[in-house]
A and B are shown apart, each in its own frame.
Chain A
Amino acid sequence: MSLSATNLLVALQHADGQFPSGGFAFSQGLEASSSLADRLGAFDFADFVDIQIRHRWADADRVALVRAFRLAGDLDALAELDSEVEASTFVEGLRLGSRRNGTALLTTHGRLGTKGATAYRGMVRNGSACGHLAVVQGLVWQALGLDEATAVAIGGYQMVASLATAAVRLGLIGAIDAQASMARALPAIEAAGSRPVADGEALRSFTPLCEIAVAMHGVSGQRLFSN
Chain B
Amino acid sequence: MDARTSSATSSASRVGAARIGIGGPVGSGKTALIERLIPAFAARGVSLAIVTNDLVTAEDAERIRRSGLIDPARVAAVEAGACPHTVIREDPTLNIAAADDLEVLFPDVELILIESGGDNLASTFSLDLVDWWMFVIDVAGGDDIPRKKGPGVLKCDLLVVNKTDLAPYVGVDLEAMAAQAATARAGRPMALTNCRSNNGIDAIADRIVSDVLFR
What is the distance, in angstroms, from B102's C-beta to the closest C-beta of chain A? 11
B91, A22: Cβ atoms closer than 8 Å: yes
B81, A24: Cβ atoms closer than 8 Å: yes
| CA A26 to CA B78, docked complex, whole Å | 12
Contact for A114 among B6, B58, B101, CB less than 8 A: B6
- Chain A stretch 17-32: residues in CB contact (< 8 A) with chain B: 18, 20-27
Interface 9-residue window, one of A58-66, A100-108, A182-190, A204-212: A100-108
A–B pairs, 8, beta carbons within 8 Å: A20-B90, A21-B93, A23-B91, A25-B80, A105-B93, A111-B12, A224-B82, A226-B79
A222, B57: Cβ atoms closer than 8 Å: yes
Complex contacts, A169 vs chain B, CB 8 Å: 82-83
User: Is A112 at the interface (CB under 8 A from chain B)?
Assistant: yes
| CA A143 to CA B93, docked complex, whole Å | 20
Interface string of A135-154 (1 = CB under 8 A from B): 00000000111100000000
What is the distance, in angstroms, from B183's C-beta to the closest C-beta of chain A? 35
| CA A200 to CA B40, docked complex, whole Å | 56
A25, B90: Cβ atoms closer than 8 Å: no
Interface size counted on chain B using CB atoms at 8 A: 34
Take A107-B96, A144-B6, A145-B3 as given contacts and tell me if A26 and B81 are in contact as well, using a CB distance cutoff of 8 Å.
yes
For A143, the closest partner residue in chain B by CB is B6
- Chain A stretch 43-73: residues in CB contact (< 8 A) with chain B: none
B83, A222: Cβ atoms closer than 8 Å: no
- Chain B stretch 1-58: residues in CB contact (< 8 A) with chain A: 1-4, 6-9, 11-12, 14, 55-58
Complex contacts, B57 vs chain A, CB 8 Å: 221-222
| CA A82 to CA B196, docked complex, whole Å | 48
Complex contacts, A111 vs chain B, CB 8 Å: 11-12, 14, 96, 128
User: Is A196 at the interface (CB under 8 A from chain B)?
Assistant: no
- Chain B stretch 86-143: residues in CB contact (< 8 A) with chain A: 86-87, 90-94, 96-97, 100-101, 104, 128
Complex contacts, A20 vs chain B, CB 8 Å: 90-93, 128
| CA A100 to CA B98, docked complex, whole Å | 10
B93, A145: Cβ atoms closer than 8 Å: no
Identify 16 new A-B residue pairs, CB closer than 8 A, beyond the known A143-B6, A146-B3: A6-B4, A10-B4, A18-B90, A22-B94, A23-B91, A24-B81, A100-B94, A100-B97, A105-B93, A107-B96, A111-B12, A112-B11, A114-B6, A115-B6, A223-B56, A225-B81
List the 4 closest pairs (A to B, CB-CB), nearest first. A25-B81, A113-B8, A145-B3, A145-B1
